[in-house]
């Protein structure tokens, strides 16, 4: 009988990537172990760090990294640069210099294959729209490609391919994990602003929010589609969640809430139960 393989799958979701770190802390404390890590977009960045240091200390360091993040570290908008991009038809609003510096400063490895756990980074082929899985090579370039939000950051050329945000092809890459041989999949989502009282302000914030909503629907579809081939356990997303994917001011609260909610999820049998969590199903919140 073949040995079961457990994959950790990390979704994209902008600043809500902080949620994943609290979830990982609870999973590590519960002695959950993994055979591979598969991530897209911000989930790839968290996944790379965790795959390199898949232990409690690694998660503590990742949490400290998130606590130090500000919006300007990832999205350093300036009126001059934005106008220049528009006037010159640059195709993207921001340069990658800030994001590149951030990734370089925080990443504990240079090559994808140097991680302790096998790491697979999901990107999207800009020309074909196909999912491109990167399992070796320069980690920094792979992560920049996986986080290259269309229209916001430029595409990244790796070999003969132009690559963009992995979330476009597969924001929660369950399919990739199953194709890599996983028979058990633990999905660490980010969630979406289910309690947002109004649309996010600004082009980039609205684009990220829209992409995230679409990704949650995609996740529900993939859970149902791949359930016959693997045991899929989705850590319950935070709900209600009134933070946008563009807001880096609530990191501490998100880390703590995600840690405690994941502890509860584990205690209530989340590592045994499968299916779509209620918080991913269509619902509303009533004030008052």
Mean pLDDT of all residues in 14-29: 92
Residue 128 CB contacts under 8 Å (≥ 6 apart), including other chains? none
* Rounded CA separation 147/130 (Å): 16
Per the prediction, the chain carries an average pLDDT of 83
Determine contact, residues 166/150, Cβ cutoff 8 Å.
no
Determine contact, residues 159/166, Cβ cutoff 8 Å.
no
Kindly indicate the confidence band of residue 288, based on its pLDDT and cuts at 50, 70 and 90: very low
Q: Please give the pLDDT value at position 76.
A: 47
The distance in angstroms from the start CA to the end CA of the chain is 55
pTM: 0.86
Answer whether residue 21 shows pLDDT above 60.
Answer: yes
Say which residue, 93 or 107, is predicted with more confidence. 107
pLDDT tens digits, 185-242: 999 988 765 656 666 666 666 766 666 667 777 888 888 899 999 999 999 888 767 6
* Rounded CA separation 37/133 (Å): 12
For the chain, what is the largest distance between any 2 Cα atoms, rounded to a whole number of angstroms? 62
Of the listed ranges 20-34, 44-58, 142-156, 207-221, the least confidently predicted one is 207-221
Supply the DSSP symbol for 75: -
Of the listed ranges 7-16, 68-77, 180-189, 246-255, the least confidently predicted one is 68-77
Say which residue, 55 or 281, is predicted with more confidence. 55
Helix (H, G, I), strand (E, B) or coil at 163: strand
* Rounded CA separation 159/165 (Å): 17
């Amino acid at each position: 009988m073949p040995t079961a393989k457990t994959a950790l799958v990390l979704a994209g979701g902008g600043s809500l990537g902080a949620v994943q770190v609290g979830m990982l802390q609870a999973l590590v404390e519960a002695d959950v172990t993994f055979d591979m890590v598969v991530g897209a977009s911000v989930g790839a960045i968290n996944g790379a760090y965790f795959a390199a240091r898949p232990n409690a200390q690694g998660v503590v360091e990742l949490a400290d990294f998130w606590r130090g993040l500000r919006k300007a570290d990832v999205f350093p908008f300036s009126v001059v640069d934005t106008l220049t991009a528009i006037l010159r038809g640059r195709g993207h609003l921001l340069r990658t210099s800030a994001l590149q510096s951030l990734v370089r400063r925080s990443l504990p490895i240079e090559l994808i294959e140097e991680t302790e756990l096998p790491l697979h980074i999901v990107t999207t082929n800009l020309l074909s729209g196909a999912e491109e899985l990167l399992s070796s090579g320069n980690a920094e370039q792979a992560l920049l490609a996986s986080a290259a939000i269309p229209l916001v950051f430029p595409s990244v050329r790796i070999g003969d391919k132009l690559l963009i945000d992995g979330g476009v092809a597969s924001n929660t890459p369950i399919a990739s994990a199953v194709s890599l041989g996983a028979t058990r999949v633990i999905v660490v989502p980010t969630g979406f602003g289910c309690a947002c009282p109004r649309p996010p302000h600004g082009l980039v914030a609205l684009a990220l929010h829209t992409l995230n909503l679409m990704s949650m629907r995609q996740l529900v579809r993939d859970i149902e589609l791949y359930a016959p081939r693997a045991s899929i356990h989705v850590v319950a997303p935070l709900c209600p969640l009134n933070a946008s994917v563009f807001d880096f001011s609530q990191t501490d609260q998100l880390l703590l809430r995600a840690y405690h909610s994941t502890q509860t999820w584990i205690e209530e049998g989340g590592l045994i139960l499968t299916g779509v969590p209620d918080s991913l199903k269509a619902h509303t919140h009533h004030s008052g």
